[in-house]
Amino acid sequence: SGGGTGGGATWAETTQIGGYGELHYNNLDGSGGASDKDELDFHRFVLFVNHQFSDNIRLFTELEIEHALAGEGQPGEVELEQAYVEMDLNDYHRAKAGVFLLPVGILNETHEPNTFYGVERNPIEKNIIPTTWWAAGAGLSGELGQGFSYDLGVHEGLRITDATSFAVRGGRQKSAEADASDLAYTGRLKYTGMPGLELATTLQHQTDITQGSVANAGSANLFEAHGIYSKGPFGLRALYARWDLDGSGPETVGADEQFGWYIEPSFRLNEKWGLFARYNEWDNRAGNSSQSEMTQVDVGVNFWPHPDVVLKADYQMQDNDNGQDQDGFNLGVGYQF
Amino acid sequence: SGGGTGGGATWAETTQIGGYGELHYNNLDGSGGASDKDELDFHRFVLFVNHQFSDNIRLFTELEIEHALAGEGQPGEVELEQAYVEMDLNDYHRAKAGVFLLPVGILNETHEPNTFYGVERNPIEKNIIPTTWWAAGAGLSGELGQGFSYDLGVHEGLRITDATSFAVRGGRQKSAEADASDLAYTGRLKYTGMPGLELATTLQHQTDITQGSVANAGSANLFEAHGIYSKGPFGLRALYARWDLDGSGPETVGADEQFGWYIEPSFRLNEKWGLFARYNEWDNRAGNSSQSEMTQVDVGVNFWPHPDVVLKADYQMQDNDNGQDQDGFNLGVGYQF
Amino acid sequence: SGGGTGGGATWAETTQIGGYGELHYNNLDGSGGASDKDELDFHRFVLFVNHQFSDNIRLFTELEIEHALAGEGQPGEVELEQAYVEMDLNDYHRAKAGVFLLPVGILNETHEPNTFYGVERNPIEKNIIPTTWWAAGAGLSGELGQGFSYDLGVHEGLRITDATSFAVRGGRQKSAEADASDLAYTGRLKYTGMPGLELATTLQHQTDITQGSVANAGSANLFEAHGIYSKGPFGLRALYARWDLDGSGPETVGADEQFGWYIEPSFRLNEKWGLFARYNEWDNRAGNSSQSEMTQVDVGVNFWPHPDVVLKADYQMQDNDNGQDQDGFNLGVGYQF
C-alpha cells in the first residue's frame, strides 16, 4: 500500500533524509607490471533515511549506489548498507537488530568524505578491515562510565574462498541471501574519557570464515586497535589490525596471518585548509616468506569551503615487495548533508 | 534541471516519504531430497515517495531493493513497484494510470511486515497469486454504497513459458519493457460493511498468458476470494485462489489448473504479543494426477514493541506429495514508517 | 554513521526531495525488415535530492531507475545522473564540480515529461545529442548581461568504438569508472533577452572520442544550435546538431559526419490541451553515400490535468533511406514534482 498523502509536514518531524557522496579522479602510473589508472568515478552516492518511532525506538537506514551505474553488464552496485531498529533498554544500554555497520576501525562507521584525509580511504581499512563492512544480526551497545563504552554483536560471518587466496575483503556477504551456517561475534571497547582522544579495540571471532565451503579452513580471529588524538591544529590517527586464520589451506598460501597498520599525522592550517601525511603497511599473505608486503605513503591537502563540503588532492607513492607499484595523484570532491 | 532549493519546508507539506523493511533468518532442514536453508537476508527494503498535486490529483510511488544488493552477478534487484497518478472523478469514483499493485488477495496491496503474521508471506499468495504483483495500465476504483467498493483495471499481462511448466509466478513482467501484445483485465468487489469484517473477490482475464510466445497455450482466468474477520482478541484470515489456463500445453503438464488456499486463526495476547497458526495447501500442476500438491503448517508469534515495529518467530512443517519437505524455524525483524 | 534523528522538521528547510516519471506505451508496425514494437514500459523514474549548505553553496543530485527493473539479467539500470556541488563566485558567476548534465540542446537539462511534446523524446536529441548526457568534471556558469549567459566545462569524454560504427550514443561513460585518458571541453552561449525567446549554441571538443582505444580515430567536434519561441498560443522549437569525427576509421563507414535537425510547431488550445507536429531528420553515417538517413514525422496531443501531470498521445511516420520504417502510435503518462 504505502504512506498516505496530506497531513502537512508533520512526517518530516520524525523522518529524516541525509546523504553523502564522493567523486574521485585517479591519475596513477604503474611500474614493475602494475597497470596505469586514469579514471573519473563517482565512487559512492549514499542516502540516509532515518525514523524515530518513539522516544526510545528508532530506525537507521543507508542505501548506496557504488560507481554510479548498476545493472546487467555495468560496473556499479546498489547496496543496502544499514537498516536496523534500535531500542533503548535503559538510559545506558540499547539493543539493535537488522543490518548494521560492524564496530571496528576508524572509517567503517564514520566515512563521510569530509571527515577524513585522502581522496581514497586508507588501504589498511580496505584490505585488512574490509570497510565498508556491514552484516545482518543483533547487537548491544552502551556506556560503562568513566569514558568507556562497548558494542557487542552476533551476525552473519564472512564467506571467503581459496580462489582469492583467502583474502578477507572478498568474503563480505552484504546481507544478501547470506549463508548463515557459521555466524561471527564482535566486541568493541572504546575510551573517550579525555578531550581530543579516542582509543578503541575490537575483537572478532568467525566460527567458519568459509561457511563450511572449504575443508582445510575454518575459524578465524580479528584483532584491531586504534587511537585518534587532536590538540589544537595537530591531529594524529594510528591503527593496527591483524587476522589469524586456522587451517592448512590459509597456511599454505601464507594467508593464515593478514595484517596492516598506518599512522597519519595532520595539521589544520585554518578553518578551511588541512594537510596530512600517512604511512601504510599491509600484507594479506604475511604467514610465509612470499614477497607480498605492500607499503604506501600518502601526502595531501583537504579544502573545506563549508564544513560539510570538501575538495581533496593527494599524492601516493608505493614501495611494494613484489615491485608492482602504482604512483601518482588523486583528486576528489565530497559532501555530506 | 531538477527541483530547486530554498523555500523552507513547504515542499514537505505536499510530498511525503515513508517505507518498510524486513530482515529474514531461515533455518530449514530438507528431507526427501529437498535442500537445507540457513540464510540471513534483508529480503525487502522499500521507500515510498508520494505527492499531492492538488486536492484531487495525487501520485503514489514505491521503490524496492530486493535482497539488499543489486548489480551484475548479485542476487538482488531494484524494482519500481508503484508509480501511478490518481485523479478523483467525483466524491465516489477515481481513475488512475501508471504502474500499480493489482487488486487481488490480502497481501498484494498491504504487505508491510507489521500487518501480518509469519516471517515469510504465505505460500498461496506467493505461488498462486504472484505477490508482489504490479502492472502498468489504467484503472477505476470507487464506492458503491452499503459497504461495497470496486476496482477495475486494464494492464500488462503475464508472460509465462513452458520452460517453467507454466507456473504463473515466473510470468510477471514488472512493467520493464513489458510485452503488451496481449493485455489483461482485473475486477474486484469488496465488502467492508460490518465492523471487523472484510470480504472480497477478484476475477482476472489474461488474453494470452504467454503473449503469443507459446503456440499451444493462450488465455487464462484467475478467481480469488478471501475473508478477514476480527472480534476482540480473535482474528481469522482465509483465502482461496485458482487459475484455469487454456490450451494443450498447460494441460499436458497439469498446469491448466493451479490453485491454493489457506486458513489462519490468530489470537492477540495483548497490545504487544500475538499468536497464529496457518494451514496452507497449493498445487501449480493440479490438472493431472502428478504428485505435485504442497501442504504446509505454520505456527508462530509476533511481538510488536511499537505498532510499526515487529519481531517474528515461527515454525513451518511441510507435508508435500513429492516427499520433499523443508521443515524448520524462521526469525524476522520488520518495520514500517 | 548517518544523519541523526530528532530535531523536528528543520532538515526539510535545507534539503528537498522531488522527482519525475514517465510510462510509455508503444504500438508500432515495422515494414521493410524493421521490427514491430508492442510494449508497456515505465521508462524513467527519477528522484531529486537537493541540499542548501549555505547561501552560496548547494548540492544537486538526481537518481534514475531506467526501465523499472535493475539487476542481473534485467533490462533496467540505476543511474546517478547528477551529483554536483555548486558555489557562487559572485553575484554573476558560479563554479561547480561533480557529475552534471552537459549544457547542450533543449532536452538534455530540462526533460521532465510535462515540459515537452511527444511521448518519446525527439530522435535528434537521442541519436546525435545523446540525451540524457551527463559527465564528471568541473564547470563555470554565469550571466554576461543583456540577456546573455554562458556555461563552460571540462569533463570526461565519450568512449565510442568501431563495433557500433562510431555512433556517438554508445559512447557515454556515465561517470562510472570512466576512462579519463582524454577529456572533453564544452562551451555554451545562451540568449534569453526577449520575452518568449531562447537562442543557444554549444560547441564541444573531444580530445579522443575513443579514449585511445581505436588507432584510426581520434578527436571530434560537436556543434549545436537551437531556438525556442512562444507567442500567445503558438510555440516553435528548432534544433540543429552536427558531429565531425577525425580519422580514417570513422571516415570509412561514413561516421565522420553525424548530424540531425528538427522543427516543431505547436499550438496550445487552452490551459489543458496542446497540439504539436514535428519533422525530424538525422544520419549517424552522413559522411558517405550509404542509405543511412532517417526521417520521421510526429503529430500528437498533450493533455495536462494539472501543470505537473501530463497525458500524451502521438502518431509517428518514418521514411528512412534504408526502407526500414516503424510507424504507429504512442501513449504516455508523466509527472513532475
Cell numbers linked to A283: 600484507
Q: Is residue B156 less than 8 Å (CB to CB) from chain C?
A: yes
How far is A26 from B60, CA to CA, in rounded Å?
A: 41
Mutant choice from A16, A66, A79, A303 vs C, greatest count of C C-beta within 10 A: A16
Contacts of A269 (CB under 8 A, 6+ apart): A233, A275
Residue C112 contacts B, CB cutoff 8 Å: yes
3-state secondary structure of C1: coil
Q: A280 with A302: CB under 8 angstroms?
A: no
Element (H, E) at C209: none
Long-range Cβ contacts of A299-304 (<8 Å, 24+ apart): A299/A275, A300/A117, A300/A118, A300/A119, A300/A275, A300/A276, A300/A330, A301/A273, A301/A274, A301/A275, A301/A276, A302/A117, A302/A273, A302/A274, A302/A276, A303/A272, A303/A273, A304/A114, A304/A271, A304/A272, A304/A273, A304/A274
Fold of A15-336: Porin (2.40.160)
Report helix, strand and coil shares of chain A as percent, to nearest 5: 10, 55, 35
pLDDT of residue B290: 83
Residue A80 pLDDT: 97
Q: Is B3 within 8 Å of C12 when comparing Cβ atoms?
A: no
Q: Which residues in chain B (190-209) have CB-CB distances under 8 A to chain A?
A: none
C33-57 residue pLDDT tens: 999 999 999 999 999 999 999 999 9
- The DSSP line for A70-81 is ESTT-S-EEEEE
Phi, psi of A24 (to 5 degrees): -120, 140
* pLDDT at residue B324 tops 70: yes
ipTM: 0.95
What is the pLDDT at residue B8?
Answer: 58
Test B54 with C306 for CB contact under 8 angstroms: yes
- What is the distance between the alpha carbons of residues B176 and B135, in angstroms, rounded to a whole number? 9
CA distance C108 to chain A (A): 18
Q: Spell out the per-residue pLDDT of chain A, length 337, in tens.
A: 344 444 556 899 999 999 999 999 999 999 999 999 999 999 999 999 999 999 999 999 999 999 999 999 999 999 999 999 999 999 999 999 999 999 999 999 999 999 999 999 999 999 999 999 999 999 999 999 999 999 999 999 999 988 889 999 999 999 999 999 999 999 999 999 999 999 999 999 999 999 999 999 999 999 999 999 999 999 999 999 999 999 999 999 999 999 999 999 999 999 999 999 999 999 999 998 888 999 999 999 999 999 999 999 999 999 999 999 999 999 999 999 9
The closest CB to that of A49, out of B17, B74, B308, belongs to B17
Decide if B178 touches C, using CB distance below 8 A. Answer: yes
d(CA B151, CA A275): 64
Which chain C residue has the Cα nearest residue B172?
A: C69
pLDDT bin (cut points 50, 70, 90) of residue C161 is confident
Mean pLDDT value across residues C59-70: 97
The shortest C-alpha distance from A69 to chain B (Å) reads 9
Overall average pLDDT of the B71-78 stretch? 95
Cβ distance of A109 and C1 shorter than 8 Å: yes
Percentage with pLDDT > 70 across chain B = 97
Which among C51, C85, C176 has the least Cβ separation from residue A68? C176
pLDDT number for residue C1: 37
Domain B91-328: give its CATH architecture.
Beta Barrel (2.40)
Q: Cα-flanking dihedrals φ and ψ of residue C127, to 5°?
A: -100, -25
The stretch B257-281 carries a mean pLDDT of: 98
Contact present, A46 and A23 (Cβ < 8 Å): no
Neighbouring chains to C with at least 3 Cβ pairs closer than 8 Å: A, B
Beta carbons of A4 and B16 less than 8 Å apart: yes
Q: Which residues of chain B lie closer than 8 angstroms to C23, CB-CB?
A: 83, 97-99, 136, 175
Please give the distance of CA C82 from its chain centroid, rounded to a whole number: 13
At C34, list the grid cell.
524493421
Predicted confidence at residue A162, as pLDDT, reads 87
C56 part of contact set with chain A, CB < 8 Å: no
pLDDT of the residue at A1: 37
C33 touches chain A (CB under 8 A): no
Judged by a CB distance cut-off of 8 A, whether residue B136 touches chain C is: yes
Contact A181 B38 (CB under 8 A): yes
- The model's pLDDT over C105-133, given as tens digits with 9 standing for 90+, comes to 999 999 999 999 999 999 999 999 999 99
Mutation pick from C56, C80, C84, C132 vs chain A, by most beta carbons of A within 10 Å, is: C80
Task: Tell me the DSSP string of A304-328.
Answer: EEETTEEEEEEEEEE--TTS-EEEE
Fold of C17-336: Porin (2.40.160)
**Chain segment B165-194, per-residue pLDDT in tens:** 999 999 999 999 999 999 999 999 999 999
Q: Where do the H-state alpha helices sit in C42-140?
A: 124-127
Query: What value does the mean pLDDT of chain C take?
Result: 95
Say which residue the cell 484467475 belongs to: B222
pLDDT of residue C289: 84
The arithmetic mean of pLDDT across residues B192-204, rounded, is: 97
Query: Cβ distance A101 to A132 under 8 Å?
Result: yes
- Residue B52: the pLDDT is 97
Most B CBs within 10 Å: which of A154, A175, A182, as the mutation test of the B interface?
A: A175
Lowest mean pLDDT among A24-33, A215-224, C12-21, C286-295: C286-295
What pLDDT score does A245 carry? 97
Q: Does A37 touch chain C if contact means CB atoms closer than 8 Å?
A: no
Q: C-alpha distances in angstroms, C32 versus C106, C123, C234, C329?
A: 32, 20, 37, 18
Q: What is the mean pLDDT of chain B?
A: 95
Distance, CA of A327 to CA of C98 (rounded, Å): 24
Residue of C nearest to B59 (CA): C335
- Give the distance from CA A253 to its chain's centroid: 26
